[in-house]
């Protein structure tokens, strides 16, 4: 048993998973990576899963604009260039992931990943309809990979 770092009169056998400081039940903060002391549980940079409303708004905005703008552009490109559908779709997914990640300020929370994934799928659907490549095998395979890439990028 050790003395709680915050309450010297309290004995505890729990310590912060980050700094190892002994903490009693009053100080414990339950996080995805274990029990932490109040200091270590404080949000730091990309470790936070909870973004500010502004970040979500930015990510969503970039996602929507990217999906529409990028989708139309990609559609134009695919209807002119009939080869390389797979590569272009993949590049689009990568770009969408990068853009959303940037908008979310490298904050790879689940909600942001969802935004990146949805925008990529939406953008690809727009591109597919615009270029008529929607049901092409390369396009579909490219789209699946693009979405995976976009979501993976988001994870940081
Ligand atoms: Zn700590
Ligand atoms: Zn305490």
Ligand nearest the Cα atom of residue 28:
2
Give the chain's largest Cα–Cα span. 75
pTM: 0.52
CB atoms within 5 A of ion ligand 2 belong to 4, 6-7, 24, 26-27
Q: How far is the CA of 16 from the centre of ligand 1 (A)?
A: 5
Q: How far is the CA of 52 from the centre of ligand 2 (A)?
A: 29
Q: How far is the CA of 36 from the centre of ligand 1 (A)?
A: 5
> Digits of tens for pLDDT over the chain (156 positions)?
899 999 999 999 999 999 999 999 999 999 888 899 998 887 665 444 555 677 777 777 877 887 788 778 777 776 777 666 777 777 777 777 777 777 766 565 777 777 777 777 787 777 677 766 666 666 677 777 777 776 776 655
Is-contact 37 16, C-beta < 8 A? Answer: yes
Handedness of CA 131, 140, 88, 83 (dihedral sign): negative
Q: Given the DSSP bridges, would you call strands 11-12 and 34-36 parallel, antiparallel or unpaired?
A: unpaired
Beta bridge partner(s), residue 2:
12
- Residue 34, φ and ψ in degrees, nearest 5: 120, -175
């Amino acid at each position: 048993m050790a003395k709680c770092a915050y309450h010297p009169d309290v004995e505890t056998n729990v310590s912060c998973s980050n700094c190892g400081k002994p903490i009693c039940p009053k100080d414990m903060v339950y996080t995805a990576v274990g029990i932490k002391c109040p200091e270590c549980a404080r949000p730091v940079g990309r470790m936070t899963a909870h973004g500010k409303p502004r970040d979500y708004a930015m990510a969503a905005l970039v996602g929507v604009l990217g999906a529409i703008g990028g989708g139309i552009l990609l559609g134009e490109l695919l209807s002119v260039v009939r080869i390389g559908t797979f590569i272009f779709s993949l590049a689009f997914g990568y770009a969408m992931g990068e853009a959303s990640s940037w908008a979310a300020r490298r904050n790879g929370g689940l909600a942001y990943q969802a935004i990146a994934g949805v925008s990529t799928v939406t953008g690809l659907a727009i591109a597919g309809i615009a270029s008529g490549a929607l049901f092409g095998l390369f396009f579909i395979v490219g789209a699946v990979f693009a979405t995976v890439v976009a979501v993976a990028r988001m994870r940081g």
